Chain A
Amino acid sequence: MDKLTQRLRASLLENPAVQIKESAQWYLPVETFDVAFKRVKRSKMDILMKMMLLAFEQTSIRRAANLSEMLLVEELFIADLIEKMQRTGLIRLEKEIYKLTTKGHQQLQTGIIDEEMEEEWTELFYSPGHDKFWPAMTVPLPESDEELTLYRYANDQDLINSDRILQVLSAREDGLDENGFQTVVANVLSFDKRVVEQVPCLEFRMYNKEQDIFYARVWNTWLERWDETLENQIEEQEQVKWREKWTAAAEVSE
């Protein structure tokens, strides 16, 4: 931890115009969720084509325009896909009405049926202060000798619901498997806040003489970067106060 602090200080002070007025260490709470979810296997056929096959099956469609009106989709898209489906033998015109061929029926069958997969589990990390899910840590958090205090602007709002988790999982887990099937996260079975991780952060209150500006630098050890969200939160609350404090101090010391 001290080593890290030293390194950061050094890099900050590379600029001779800046001073570190104060520094601090505290922890940021990061919640770990255990999530159970299920994925399904789905054919590669995209939804518009699937929808069109369904429509051809259910009703009489003579022109792309009919379908365009129903699905509220650009006629050109429909016309394109109709042409493609005719070409690949999924549909044909019978008495001026589009009908599914046997192949078309087959494809539709496989298209609409999702093959359920085994239940799966994973961990998600959420920072309420950022309202963001973070990736898993790559290096272990540094050990600290002293007891760290909680970040002073930490909030405990509960914004997590299964929809958000589904979104995060979809972005992470959806994909194509080796057989050309889509694997899609279908639903979140359960999510439980397991532990709250204490993520140490190093705060530096900076002054640039040349430009006469005060600013904050916060190193986030989980993300391994200067964290602008935290910096902004601190600056917004304290920046003006710092000026008052240190300008007054400077005057006194003079």
Chain B
Amino acid sequence: MKKHSTTYRCPVTLTNKAKDKMRELRLEERSFFSLEKSFHVYIEKYPPAADRVLSAALFFDIEANTRMVEKYNEFVVVLHCVVEKDRFIATNVTTRAVHTPVHTNWRHPVYLKFDLNVQRGSTVPFDLLSLIHEMPVAEESSMYVKKRIASWEGYLKIQERSADIPDMTSRYSGLKFSGDFSRVTITGCKLGEKEWKLLKDLSVKLKGIDQDIGKVLKANRSALTVEVELHSYMEKLARQQRLDVNPKEVVFSNFATLSQVKRLRKGFKDLENGLAANPELERLLFENKPPVKAPKKQATLQFHNRLNKFQQEAVVGAMSAEDLYVIQGPPGTGKTTVISEICLQNAKAGLRTLVASQSNLAVDNALGRLLAHKDIRILRVGRTESIEEEGKKFIEENVGQYWKDHTLTEVSTQFEARQKRGSELEVEWATNEREIEQLQPLLARLKEEFAAKQKAEKRFSEIQSIIDEQKQNVQVVDQELRTAQNEVEETSQSLRLLNAAIEKDETFLRSEPDSGAIQKEWDANEQVIQQLQHSIACQELEDEIDEKQQSIEQTSAECEKWAEASKQMDALIAKVTDVKQVDGLKWIILEQNLERPINVQLLMDELKDIRERINQLEKLKEYHDKLKGAISYVEQLLEQQRISIGQVQQRAMKRSSVYTAVEIDHFLDELRSKLKEKTKIFPQMLVTDLEGLYSRRHFVRQKAERLKPFEAYKKMAQESFRLLKQEMIEQLQKKLRENKLSHQKMLRALEEQSTELHSLQTKHKQMMTLGEQIPNAKEMLHQKEAKAHELQKQKEQHEQVKQRIEINRDKRAKEAKQMQEAEQNLAQIEARLPQLHTIIQQKEEEQQPLQEILSTEPELEHEQVLKQLASLSFKRESLKQEKQKLPLFQSIQGKWFSLLEEATDHDLDEISKLYVKHANVIGTTCVASARKDFIESYPVFDVVIIDEVSKATPPELLLPMLKGKKVILVGDHHQLPPLLGNDTLEETLQEMADNSGNFEGKAELKKLLKESLFERLYKNLPKNNKTMLAIQYRMHENIMEAITPFYEQENERLQCGLTNSDSQRDHLLESPLIKRNNHLLWLDMPNEPAFFEERMKGGKSLYNPAELKEIGALLQELDEATAQVKQAGRMNADAKKSIGVISFYGEQVKRIDRLIQQELRLNHLTIRTGTVDRFQGMEMDVILLSMVRNHDNKQDDIGFAKDYRRLNVALSRAREVLVLIGSTKMFTERTKQANTRNMYTHVLEAAKKQQGLRTLKEVSLHG
């Protein structure tokens, strides 16, 4: 897969070491980097180290860098770099061998343009940096694979058991060939003791013979013989006795196994090194949820095989899948058909497919069933001698022939078909012409009719437009008519209303008094009202006078009050002026409830403060005196003791203590009592006391100093007192002034009021003279006013009515006129309508005949005829071309046919070269796909299909998988797992455990045996990436019933695709044991010693003579039955029934072989025998299964007949009849595990249900 690569500029510097290395390698630094404009380089990221965050190796591509390769082609150059932001620093230069792949999945291809002149400020392109950043570290990716793949080690371990055996050479005395030259016993071998043990499975070579002759089957140390299974291609030499060569020397070698193991190991390594074609392969294989890519879109396909829905789903799924697809195909479900279709679809899409499988047989089977199609070119690659007949035609030396055969049939088929076609063409041509001629007159007639119709259509539409117009007119007129009618109606209505209104108003006027009387009454009323209003005014004036007099009285009372207040204030001022003491002043304030403005308050506080200080001063003086007394007393005492006190005093002065009055009292009391009590006074104590006294006196003095002298305080107090008094007097005088002002104001008001009163009284007098007083005037006025209002209204109404009558009369006259006009209009309109209707009718009558013409449809017919003509002439054209081409094709293909027929080997060689070059489906075995020559010819495939996946081990599967961009796995995990040599994995594992106790990877291997790679993938893949083919076409449905339980866990039930099993799988036989309707039978062998299994001498394998006898009898019976069928003409006389006789045990199969060859003559049967394991993938008409196990040993079980997968394979080989031969008791009852018992019981029940159980009594009765 080519990744898109971009070119980046890459500043680089080289360390000295790198430079040295380059010189060592003879790479000239400057010229090397300038060899290419840009180098194609693969980057591999290194893990981060402590000193370098980002480092990488640059691998120079040995192919893309052409100029570099011209100069240096002996090795791949690798530049080891530390990646910095501004440059790559190459720290070392190394080389790799030319053949080591440079492109791996862990590396990223880019084009780098190296720049050796790194300048300050240059940078590595950001995209390149981030690309390296985001790349996975190669080492980690490898580690990932290494860790995961370790779980597959076990498989290799098994195969490597004998890998280190060196070649062994021995002389021998002779060769003994078996009857059919399939085996040879080498006698008289001379080998070392140890060597004898190692011989098994080694390949055998005789001196003088180029190829290996076969593989060691058995070594018999005591007889000095080695039994060898001969390769089939050795038979001819053996029969010619050309194997008897001298010197008689045989070489046993392990080379084949070794090289196989080597290839498998290389597969591991390739995956580890990121060399898988699909870069995600390891994750697809090892992740629990395989990270498959979602399909981009579902492919829409045209199928070339007949496919059922599951097969179609599988093909579409596989074609759409991006990376991995898994198909589970139970027996007979058409896996090969699906593979064939996928191959063809791939070929058509231009993709190359690898079909791989574990065995050559499976590869050949798959290729043999591919459709022969010219787009598909099949090539079988492998050792010719191991390729089966079906695959042989696809090997390189035969593909020319295959191609010729196929092309020859194709060409001859076409040639013959075309020959027939020649005469057919003539007939078709004539028919075509006749048909065209016949159509011509019809066409002409239709053309005419069509024209007439077109004309009629035109006329019709003309008339129609007139009708439409007239109809519209009618509508308009109708509308007008309705409007006119409405108008007449409305006008007459309005006239009626007007008349009524006028009538009513006139009646009113007649009944009511006229306006003059009303006016008179109104005037009288107005006069009364005036009188009443005058009287009311007088009354009101009187009230006002009363009020005024009362007001005057109030004002004079107020006046007196203010005069009294002023007098009192004078007295208060005098009192304040006389006050001598503060307390007196305070008292007045309290008594008079005077205001205390802020400065008065301040002064009072100041006075209080001054008084306090005086008190304090007095107290200090008192304590000073006390202390002074005490000091002089103590001083006296000390002087008696002659102790100087000067120092004491000084010391005391230095102390600065604070004392309270209580403390001083206490101190003095204590001193006093001390002096009183103690007769003996210690001078030292006294000194301390004196010091205390001094200190206290000093404190008192200091405190007193801080205060002002007494006189100063007295003066301050007097001053404050004076200010206070002054303040208060000012305040009171202000009040006095205010009182006087109020008094004067009252006096003035009194005067004014008296003047007003006087004027009112004069006015009253005047009014009284004007008219008499009417009592109740107010009430009466109301009445009269209401009356006046009423009258006014009457007057107005009268006027209105009069006016209205006038208006209405005018209106009536107008409307009457309108009415007349409307009626005239109506009459006119009514007259117009019938005219219009007549016109419409006329026109419609004109349309009638046209309508008839229009109802015919000549145009449709015309069109049809035209179409017919077109297709006829198209056909004519193609016939013409064919006619022209036919002779050319015939002559060329005729020539081609004859050339092909006489094609020589040389011709076919040339063709096969082309064929091989363009081969697009290549088949080989898994292991062969890793052969060196194959890898060189086909490194990568677009699609790898692996068939019978469940039969291959994971390491084997890995080899083809590595090569596929897309991998499609086909298999069935309900069938048998891989075989190693002739042994099953379980057996081999058991053997290894017996020999070496334990080996590495055994646990993992056991896990893998439980759930194979295929099974795990199938279970874990999303729906889009897998399908189970659920319809089988092989078995009669009754046989299928035996295996359905094995598929019950799947999403789809196994179904039978045969539309009628009874007719499509009719075995035609009728024998004592097998009736025509029997398809599943169980021949029950008694669980008694006479029928027990036996163990072969000197071996492990088992056989059962009793069953062998029954099988012989049964085969005879079948042969006779077939003969009868032929006699009855139900079967072709040359045909043979195909019969498979199979067994779980190899030894039994060997004995069956001998029985058939030596003791039976079966003319109507073709028989194949084999172990169940070998038979996987095959099918037969009839299958006889010899079950062998039968014993009464409580310790023992039924061996590998336990494995449900083996039973599944055994039961699903038969198309028509399946006969089990074995003890039902042994398998359904004596078997140890319950699920094994159930498994066989199901088969038994199915057989019973179909009347297919035969007990031996029955058998021997018939037999």
Within 8 A of B (CB), among A43-82: 44, 46-51, 54-55, 58-59, 70-74, 76-77, 80-81
Q: Are B917 and A80 in contact (CB under 8 A)?
A: yes
Interface size range on A against B: 35 or more
Q: Are B904 and A174 in contact (CB under 8 A)?
A: yes
Q: How far is the CB of B30 from chain A (nearest CB, A)?
A: 41
Q: Are B892 and A71 in contact (CB under 8 A)?
A: yes
Q: How far is the CB of B588 from chain A (nearest CB, A)?
A: 143
On whether A11 and B244 interact (CB within 8 A), knowing A46-B910, A59-B892, the answer reads yes
Pick the contact of B174 from A14, A55, A74 — CB < 8 Å?
A14
On whether A228 and B239 interact (CB within 8 A), knowing A14-B176, A72-B374, the answer reads yes
Scan B916-941; emit 1 where CB is below 8 A from any A CB, else 0: 01100000000000000000000000
Q: Are B906 and A213 in contact (CB under 8 A)?
A: no
Q: Are A239 and B410 in contact (CB under 8 A)?
A: no
Complex: A240 Cα to B909 Cα, angstroms: 49
Which chain A positions have C-beta within 8 A of B187? 14
In the complex, whether B392 has a CB less than 8 A from a CB of chain A is no
Which chain B positions have C-beta within 8 A of A213? 179, 1154, 1157-1158
Which chain A positions have C-beta within 8 A of B244? 11
Q: How far is the CB of B649 from chain A (nearest CB, A)?
A: 140
Complex: A144 Cα to B904 Cα, angstroms: 44
**From DSSP, what is the main secondary structure of chain A's interface residues?**
mixed
Scan B141-178; emit 1 where CB is below 8 A from any A CB, else 0: 00000000000000000000000000000000011100
**Nearest CB to that of B404 among chain A residues?**
A47
Scan A197-234; emit 1 where CB is below 8 A from any B CB, else 0: 00000000010100111110000000111111000000
Q: Are A51 and B896 in contact (CB under 8 A)?
A: yes
Scan A6-47; emit 1 where CB is below 8 A from any B CB, else 0: 000001001100000000000000000000000000101011
**From DSSP, what is the main secondary structure of chain B's interface residues?**
helix
In the complex, whether A184 has a CB less than 8 A from a CB of chain B is yes
Q: Are A47 and B907 in contact (CB under 8 A)?
A: yes
**Nearest CB to that of A185 among chain B residues?**
B904
Complex: A214 Cα to B1159 Cα, angstroms: 9
On whether A71 and B896 interact (CB within 8 A), knowing A15-B176, A46-B911, A176-B906, the answer reads yes
Q: Are B185 and A15 in contact (CB under 8 A)?
A: yes
Which chain A positions have C-beta within 8 A of B915? 77
Which chain A positions have C-beta within 8 A of B240? 223-226
Complex: A56 Cα to B904 Cα, angstroms: 23
Q: Are A71 and B411 in contact (CB under 8 A)?
A: yes
In the complex, whether B902 has a CB less than 8 A from a CB of chain A is yes
Complex: A234 Cα to B1159 Cα, angstroms: 15
**Nearest CB to that of A186 among chain B residues?**
B902
Q: Are A48 and B888 in contact (CB under 8 A)?
A: no
Q: Are A50 and B899 in contact (CB under 8 A)?
A: yes
In the complex, whether A182 has a CB less than 8 A from a CB of chain B is yes
Which chain A positions have C-beta within 8 A of B910? 46, 48-49
Which chain B positions have C-beta within 8 A of A228? 181, 235, 239
Which chain B positions have C-beta within 8 A of A240? 1158-1161
- Residue among A48, A227, A239 with most chain B CB within 10 A: A48
**Nearest CB to that of B410 among chain A residues?**
A72
Within 8 A of A (CB), among B195-254: 235-236, 238-241, 244
Q: Are B906 and A72 in contact (CB under 8 A)?
A: no
In the complex, whether B905 has a CB less than 8 A from a CB of chain A is yes
Q: Are A47 and B900 in contact (CB under 8 A)?
A: yes
**Nearest CB to that of A49 among chain B residues?**
B910
Q: Are A71 and B1157 in contact (CB under 8 A)?
A: no
In the complex, whether A243 has a CB less than 8 A from a CB of chain B is yes
Q: Are A225 and B239 in contact (CB under 8 A)?
A: yes
Which chain B positions have C-beta within 8 A of A49? 910
Q: Are A208 and B179 in contact (CB under 8 A)?
A: yes
In the complex, whether B377 has a CB less than 8 A from a CB of chain A is yes
Pick the contact of A243 from B895, B899, B1158 — CB < 8 Å?
B1158
Q: Are A226 and B239 in contact (CB under 8 A)?
A: yes
Q: Are A80 and B914 in contact (CB under 8 A)?
A: yes
Q: Are B892 and A58 in contact (CB under 8 A)?
A: yes
Which chain A positions have C-beta within 8 A of B906? 44, 46, 174, 176, 182
In the complex, whether B1124 has a CB less than 8 A from a CB of chain A is no
On whether A74 and B377 interact (CB within 8 A), knowing A208-B179, A215-B179, the answer reads yes
Which chain B positions have C-beta within 8 A of A206? 179
Pick the contact of A55 from B181, B185, B411, B892 — CB < 8 Å?
B892
In the complex, whether B375 has a CB less than 8 A from a CB of chain A is yes
Q: How far is the CB of B916 from chain A (nearest CB, A)?
A: 11
Which chain A positions have C-beta within 8 A of B911? 46, 48, 77
Q: Are A225 and B1158 in contact (CB under 8 A)?
A: no
Q: Are B241 and A58 in contact (CB under 8 A)?
A: no
Complex: A50 Cα to B244 Cα, angstroms: 51
In the complex, whether B891 has a CB less than 8 A from a CB of chain A is yes
Within 8 A of A (CB), among B343-383: 374-375, 377
Q: Are A74 and B1158 in contact (CB under 8 A)?
A: no
Within 8 A of A (CB), among B375-415: 375, 377, 407, 410-411, 414
Complex: A148 Cα to B792 Cα, angstroms: 178
Q: How far is the CB of B111 from chain A (nearest CB, A)?
A: 30
On whether A72 and B414 interact (CB within 8 A), knowing A59-B888, A239-B1157, the answer reads yes
Which chain B positions have C-beta within 8 A of A226? 181, 238-241
Which chain A positions have C-beta within 8 A of B13? none
In the complex, whether B903 has a CB less than 8 A from a CB of chain A is yes
Which chain B positions have C-beta within 8 A of A42? 904
Which chain A positions have C-beta within 8 A of B889? 70
Which chain B positions have C-beta within 8 A of A80? 914, 917-918
Which chain A positions have C-beta within 8 A of B1157? 213, 239
Q: Are B904 and A70 in contact (CB under 8 A)?
A: no
Which chain B positions have C-beta within 8 A of A212? 1154, 1158
**Nearest CB to that of A232 among chain B residues?**
B180
Which chain A positions have C-beta within 8 A of B896? 51, 70-71
Supply 17 A–B pairs (Cβ within 8 Å), ascending by A. Answer: A15-B176, A48-B910, A50-B899, A54-B892, A58-B888, A71-B411, A71-B892, A71-B893, A71-B896, A72-B411, A74-B375, A208-B179, A213-B179, A213-B1157, A215-B180, A223-B240, A226-B240
Which residues of A are interface residues toward B (Cβ below 8 A)?
11, 14-15, 42, 44, 46-51, 54-55, 58-59, 70-74, 76-77, 80-81, 170, 174, 176, 182, 184, 206, 208, 211-215, 223-228, 239-240, 243
Q: Return the 6 tightest CB-CB contacts between A and B, nearest first.
A: A46-B910, A15-B176, A225-B240, A215-B179, A226-B239, A47-B899
Which residues of B are interface residues toward A (Cβ below 8 A)?
174-176, 179-181, 185, 187, 235-236, 238-241, 244, 374-375, 377, 407, 410-411, 414, 888-889, 891-893, 895-896, 899-900, 902-907, 909-911, 914-915, 917-918, 1154, 1157-1161
- Known: A47-B900, A81-B914; 7 extra A-B contacts, CB below 8 A, are A44-B906, A46-B907, A46-B911, A48-B914, A59-B888, A77-B914, A225-B240
